[in-house]
A and B are shown apart, each in its own frame.
Chain A
Amino acid sequence: MIDLKKLTIKKARKALDSKEFSVVDLAQAYLKEIEKKNKELNAYLEVFDDVLEQAKVSDARIAKGESLPLLGIPLAIKDNILITGRHASSASKMLENYVASYDATVIEKLKKAGAVFLGRTNMDEFALGSSTENSAFGVTKNPYDISRVAGGTSGGSASSVSSDMALVALGSDTGGSIRFPSAFCGVVGLKPTYGGVSRNGLMAATSSFDVIGPIAKNIEDAEILFDVIKGNDVLDSTTITEKTYTKSSVKKVIGVPWNLINQEGLDPKIKENFEKVVKDFEGLGYKIKDIKLPNCLALYYIINFAEVSTNLARFDGVRYGLHKNGKNLLEDYLLSKGAGFGKETRRRILLGTYVLSAGYYDAYYGKAQRARVALRKDFVKIFSDIDLILTPTSPIPPWKVGEKSDPLSMYLADIFTVTANIVGLPAISLPSGFMDVEGLPAGQAGKKLPLGIQFMASHGGEDLLFEIGKKFEAIKGI
């Protein structure tokens, strides 16, 4: 029996290379977990039927003496990343039967590295949401409490790693979609610097925010996966190189935006946990500096709506995707989009159409773009005397499925995560402990929910995030 709970990429590598177990054994162990748990958690939308064949190919490569970090490592892929010949639906009815005709750059890299794809994971439709409740194919549940959400939009990926249904997973992050579910499911999630990982083959949500990144049980695994998928790509002209950003010297100063943390709306237990974490870092010799950060939600959502409405205009039932037959071409569009898009998706398309329309453009989208340029400049200043910014990942713990019916109240949960996307900074969510749930019936007493903290670094500063993350793991005893 392979102990999946304690398995890491390096441990698996050692065991595979020393023939302690084979890739087929490992893949079978994960398939067994999926068989046991996925029905309840709904983390996978599809488990691929050729997992064992993929595993055999990797076994053959190992037998030939090849040893690459991810050779034979089973991972889960978010449903908005394309793999040739396989379905990729973005958890939408619109693309329910869509089959990808090429590999995303990250997939091409992972195939070369010999990784085994277990399946595609659930998400909020077109990566719009914070809880994976907006999926057209059912909610993904939180492994710590199945009455609660896993967070979103990469909820399936985070839930699968957290419940040992995958060793690591890929997610995508537009406004917190990797970090938020990682915090809710008690795992590590990295949002790389914008352009750090190629977007070629990732379905576009907000093109100027989107980035692919790893979800893992620990920093080391996240780092190994990131190292394989990162890098410049001719097929994504926004990708950066090692030289794009210059590294500044480390000051051992962490900025904490107390103005945002002390606002109403932060759960007292999260605040308590966060204050403890700040003390932990002081104990490690870091200087904590009080910084001021603006609330960027309005700015974030205006740009999100605008780009989402533009990007999703391509789904018109003409070349691929859901097609509903009308009397004429216009009716085809109206019917196909009406039937294919879910509630939240329509809402954002209409809001985007509004903020981009003549008469409102200057007040909303134009203003937001100007504010964004100004914010980027502010961050250059902010990072001149600190290395990292520390916040909780979410202001609230995982909520009950269906609890947040008002869309605006869910948007507000993204307060700490959206800033990194607006400015393009790398950011990581780390598990920071658990909180007790009060008022549970006797049978469920003692149930705990995971909490997460977030670090942001300046552009290209992923190494700083990994370094501080490892220090934090060391004091947490992970």
Chain B
Amino acid sequence: MDIKDVENLAQLARIELTEEEKKELLSDMDSILSYVKQIEEMKIETTGEPCVFTQGSPVVVNVWREDEIKVQEFSKEVITKQFPDAQDGFLKVKKIL
């Protein structure tokens, strides 16, 4: 990895970094990535099964529920109060295109 890679990742993740932060991150990431690279050596038998990890239930099940309207106690006021910028109760954002 080099500093260009860090810049590219930061750009993808939309995080502004200072030059110093970039340098520090580069050395941290280098050492962390070379550690987690161990995963390459793990031998896994390929059984041809689909690679679906079923955390939560021992079998893959679809969790269905009826599409009913249930009143939930959300405070609209609390939600709208947190908008950084609002107009007439709507969230105001900068031009997208």
Contact = CB atoms under 8 A, between A and B. Distances in A.
B29 interface: yes
Interface in B31-83: 31-33, 35-40, 42, 44-45, 49, 51-53, 55-58, 63, 65, 72-75, 78-79, 81-83
B44 A374 contact: yes
Contacts of A195: 55-57
User: Interface SS of chain B: helix, strand, loop or mixed?
Assistant: loop
Given A301-B36, A368-B39, A323 B31 contact: no
Interface string A294-315: 1001110110000001000100
A84 B39 CA distance: 42
B72 A102 contact: yes
B10 interface: yes
Nearest to B16: A338
**Interface size class of chain A, counting residues whose CB lies under 8 Å from the partner chain:** 35 or more
Contacts of A354: 5, 9, 29, 33
B47 to A, nearest CB: 9
Contact of B29 (A351, A357, A368): A351
Contact of B96 (A208, A329, A350): A329
Given A337-B16, A367-B39, A329 B9 contact: no
Residues of A contacting B: mostly: helix
A84 B79 CA distance: 11
A263 to B, nearest CB: 14
A367 B79 CA distance: 40
Contacts of A318: 84, 91, 93
A374 B35 CA distance: 21
B39 A328 contact: no
Contact of A334 (B16, B74, B84): B16
Nearest to A360: B33
A390 to B, nearest CB: 24
Given A329-B93, A353-B12, A408 B37 contact: no
Nearest to B1: A354
B58 A371 contact: no
Contacts of A302: 36, 39
A249 interface: no
A194 B55 contact: yes
Contacts of B72: 102
Given A298-B38, A350-B6, A85 B58 contact: no
Contact of A374 (B31, B45, B93, B95): B45
Contact of B42 (A299, A309, A337, A411): A299
Interface in A206-251: 208, 234, 237-240, 244-245
Contacts of B63: 237
A411 B40 CA distance: 19
Interface in A8-56: none
A319 interface: yes
A244 B57 contact: yes
A341 B78 contact: no
Contacts of A346: 15, 17, 21, 25
A389 to B, nearest CB: 19
Contacts of B88: none
A67 interface: no
Given A318-B91, A353-B12, A101 B74 contact: yes
Nearest to B75: A101
A332 interface: yes
Nearest to A350: B9
Nearest to A309: B13
B2 interface: no
Nearest to B52: A373
A411 B83 CA distance: 36
B28 interface: yes
A328 B94 contact: yes
Contacts of A424: 55-56
Contact of B83 (A319, A329, A373): A319
Contacts of A100: 78
Contact of B32 (A99, A244, A338, A407): A407
Contacts of A448: none
Contact of B10 (A350, A363, A376): A350
Contacts of A332: 94
Contacts of B83: 319-320
Nearest to A99: B78
A361 interface: no
A98 interface: yes
B9 A238 contact: no
Contacts of B81: 99
A330 B35 contact: no
B4 interface: no
Contact of A370 (B9, B16, B44, B82): B44
B9 A328 contact: no
10 contacts: A208-B53, A320-B83, A329-B95, A332-B94, A333-B14, A334-B14, A338-B15, A406-B28, A408-B35, A424-B56
